[in-house]
């Protein structure tokens, strides 16, 4: 493999990690802002979003260049294909972090409801999934990636329970209908974050083991 191609791949990998680092931080800030009702922190989330979008475009360009000029095969091809998919997932997580940050303002005066819903418990699990998904990519660790996929069910279950709790609160007190609706949206966003983390983990398994595990494909085969 010639030096130029190696550099292109290394650069691609490095930019994916940079984008992952930004998204990881962005999600942490959004969840913290939601829990603490901190509008100042949401500014940093919006700021990061611009950088994440720049990385999205940059990675697309790099992938186009590698595909057009180098025609990668085998593991190199898998890296490029995974980069396309992971870039998309990370960009979506960035968007969702912004969506979560947008819920901070409408929920500012309902800190008690936010606390009682324990939205951060669910947020922590989803955030850990994203964190571990990025780690599994950096370390090329398919075992860690497989563990992430299992955690998705935990987040789904938490979402169902918390949804039920918020509905009950809304039924008890009609004043909580509006903040409750915002909380349900925030819960849905967090649930989506876990889905994106699962997708990244599946991409990592494909990248390292050349196995497709999404939609239980490995079990059906």
**Footprint of another protein (CB under 8 A):** 14, 17-18, 20-22, 24-25, 131, 134-135, 138-139, 144
Q: Which is nearer to another protein, 25 or 209 (CB)?
A: 25
Quote the least distance from Cβ 109 to another protein, whole Å. Answer: 32
**Based on CB atoms, which residue is closest to another protein, 32 or 131?**
131
With respect to another protein, which residue has the nearer C-beta, 47 or 168?
47
CB nearer to another protein: pick between 11 and 161 = 11
Q: Quote the least distance from Cβ 134 to another protein, whole Å.
A: 8
Nearer to another protein, 25 or 38 (CB): 25
Shortest CB 155 distance to another protein, Å: 20
Give the 3-state secondary structure of the chain.
CCHHHHHHHHHHHHHHHHHHHHHHHHHHHHHHHHHHCCHHHHHHHHHHHHHHHHHHHHHHHHHHHHHHHHCCCHHHHHHHHHHHHHHHHHHHHHHHHHHHHHCCCCCCCCHHHHHHHCHHHHHHHHHHHHHHHHHHHHHCCHHHHHHHHHHHHHHHHHHHHHHHHHHHHHHHCHHHHHHHHHHHHHHHHHHHHHHHHHHHHHHHHHHHHCCCCHHHHHHHC
Report the nearest approach of another protein to the CB of residue 188 (Å). Answer: 27
At closest approach, how far in Å is the CB of 101 from another protein? Answer: 20
């Amino acid at each position: 493999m010639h030096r130029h191609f190696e550099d292109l791949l290394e650069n691609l990998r490095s930019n994916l990690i940079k984008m992952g680092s930004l998204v990881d931080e962005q999600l942490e800030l959004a969840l913290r802002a939601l829990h603490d009702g901190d509008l100042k922190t949401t500014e940093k989330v919006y700021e990061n979003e611009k950088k994440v979008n720049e990385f999205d475009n940059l990675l697309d360009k790099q992938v186009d260049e590698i595909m057009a000029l180098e025609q990668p095969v085998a593991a190199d091809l898998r890296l490029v294909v995974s980069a396309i998919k992971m870039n998309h997932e990370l960009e979506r997580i960035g968007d969702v972090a912004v969506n979560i940050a947008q819920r901070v303002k409408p929920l500012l005066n309902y800190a008690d409801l936010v606390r009682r819903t324990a939205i951060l418990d669910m947020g922590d699990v989803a955030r850990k999934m994203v964190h571990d998904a990025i780690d599994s990519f950096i370390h090329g660790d398919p075992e860690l990636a497989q563990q992430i996929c299992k955690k998705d069910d935990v987040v789904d279950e938490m979402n169902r329970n918390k949804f039920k709790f918020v509905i009950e609160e809304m039924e008890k007190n009609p004043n909580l209908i509006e903040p409750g609706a915002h909380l349900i949206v925030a819960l849905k966003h967090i649930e989506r974050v876990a889905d994106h983390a699962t997708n990244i983990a599946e991409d990592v398994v494909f990248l390292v083991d050349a196995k497709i595990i999404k939609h239980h494909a490995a079990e059906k085969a």
